[in-house]
Amino acid sequence: MAHRGLQARMVVAMSILFGFYVLVAALFAPVVGIPVVIAGSVLFVGVQYVVGKKLALRSVDATDLDPDVHPEIHDRVETLAESMEIDKPRLMAGRMGVPNAFAIGRKGAGTVVVSDSMLRMVKEGHMSMDELEGVLAHELAHIKNRDVIVMLLGQSVASIIGLTVFFVVQLVTDDIPIVGFIVAYLLSIVTQMLVMVFVLAISRYREYVADEEAAEHTGNPDALARALAVIQEVGTHEEAPEVDGATASMCIFGGERGLLAAVFSTHPPTEKRINRLTEMAD
């Protein structure tokens, strides 16, 4: 399925991010040289990718999903992976406090983590296997579309720009160290947040695309819509634990949304996602 809207947004957002990166590179290139700037950027992204993946799995105590205990889940994921023309990802279970799931990695080395609470809901009949399949298809779509890599690149550029602003302001305000540090820190945070607005706008749209592709490959948009409704109901209950910040951006459900969170959220409103899926089923 061709997503021209996603492609157009990607071109605009990535062009803006690349422009920011070029400005940073132009600032440091005369000092350390272009090869060092490029090598340092690649190393920075690589470390973020490797460390981020390990931290995400460790934060939820992820363990491999036993195919002998969950054969149907493995079979359905294998079928979906073949349909999407990607390698079957590694399947793991993790502790997230609420029914949830997330994907990490790339096409040839992806991992999908499902919360133990969601698996328990399926076992107890509170969620059907078709609904779980919709969630899994959504995560596989993220791997297929390289969403994790795109988000990582965007976050890395934002981090690099934030660090650059910090060090530049520190140099300018070197004669007032304490005040300079505070000003540099605050400006770096604000700058990083402004850059992330472009990344998050893409992230929200990519959630819609993953929903559409999941519905396409399962042939059952209603199942994913029902799954999202169940996840939202349980996840926004007043006694529900907060979604861990380290994995919230990757999860199918990112937690409760306030006014500020809506602006800087990685996910669109769940109600809108459900409505779009319902319209696909009609």
Tell me which residues are annotated as active site: 139
Number of Cα atoms under 13 Å in the Cβ half of residue 214: 34
Number of CB atoms found within 10 A of residue 117's CB: 19
Q: Is 253 within 8 Å of 192 (Cβ atoms)?
A: no
Q: What are the respective helix, strand and coil percentages of the chain, to the nearest 5?
A: 70, 5, 25
Q: CA 114, CA 135: separation in Å to the nearest integer? A: 9
Closest by CA position to 148, among listed 79, 84, 199: 199
Which residues share a beta bridge with 104? 111
Q: Token digits for 204?
A: 């929200």
Q: CA 159, CA 64: separation in Å to the nearest integer? A: 32
Q: Is 167 within 8 Å of 228 (Cβ atoms)?
A: no
Q: How far is CA 234 from the centre of its chain?
A: 21
Query: Which contiguous run of DSSP H or E holds residue 112?
Result: strand 109-115
Q: Is 271 exposed, middle or buried (0-12, 13-18, 19+ CB in 10 A)?
A: exposed
Which residues share a beta bridge with 105? 110
